[in-house]
Amino acid sequence: MDQATMNMPLLGDIFPEMTVQTTHGPMTLPEDMNGKWFVLFSHPADFTPVCTTEFVGFQKRFAQFQEMGCELIGMSIDQVFSHIKWVEWIKEKLDVEIEFPIIAANDSIAMQLGLLHPGKGTNTVRAVFIVDPFGKVRLILYYPQEIGRNMDEIVRAVKALQVSDKQGAMPADWPNSDLIGDRVIVPPAGDVFLAKERLEQYEGYDWWFCHKPLEK
């Protein structure tokens, strides 16, 4: 097992402590995000086509993340002056102003998060870490260099995690599940008595598959 694998945070782990330089100045994670959700996403390199489409995609949904109390943070191993110039280029050429900070990581930080792409030099993989207000890693996504991310799925994942924490489990494709729409799955019964009561209390297909309305 290599060092990068050993240091990777797992679901439920506290996000690794790190002090980083960003396009918005120094930042300490997860401390500076205490009490907030945040999405940290890495990209292979500045001034590349797929990464440019992703940054525009994230920025187009910036307001949606803000409405959910969730901050966006980009990251690659490019130096901060490269990030700044790239952000300027995106504004000048594409008329999109990037409002979230971008971390200028080093190899050590990338290895802490398991981001160095095997066989691709110092390029970082397209990783996504969704971290809750307590600093816990709640969801991790990894994409290869060749495949751009689906930003709407990341918005959906944050929203689903927030709802799930308060109401129950989320079905596939929530809030547009083929079986139950935007309803929430009731936690499974823990004993035979609750199992017998389930279909009297909730709608469902069986006692182990009950659901309830989404609380708005």
Tens-place pLDDT, residues 74-103? 998 889 999 999 999 999 999 999 999 999
Class of domain 3-167: alpha beta
Radius of gyration of the chain (CA): 20
- In the numeric block, the tokens 């390199």 are attached to 45
The residues, ordered by sequence, that sit 6+ positions from 116 with a Cβ below 8 Å of its Cβ are 4, 107, 110, 122, 123, 124, 125
The residue-averaged pLDDT of 2-9 equals 56
The pLDDT of residue 117? 60
The dihedral over CA atoms of 79, 128, 3, 1, expressed in degrees to the nearest 10, equals -150
H or E, element range at 143:
strand 137-143
| pLDDT confidence band for 119 (50 / 70 / 90) | low
| pLDDT confidence band for 2 (50 / 70 / 90) | very low
CATH superfamily, domain at 168-216: Antioxidant, Horf6; Chain A, domain2 (3.30.1020.10)
Catalytic annotation present for 210: no
- Read off the pLDDT of residues 161-205 as tens digits, 9 standing for 90 and up: 999 999 999 999 999 999 999 999 999 888 999 999 998 999 999
Write down the pTM of the prediction.
0.91
DSSP 36-59: SEEEEEE-S-SS-HHHHHHHHHHH
The structural domains of the chain, with segments of one domain joined by +, span: 3-167, 168-216
Q: Which two tokens stand for residue 36?
A: 């907030």
CA distances from 107 to 96, 98, 102, 113, 183 (A): 29, 25, 16, 10, 43
**Catalytic hit among 51, 102, 110, 115:** 51
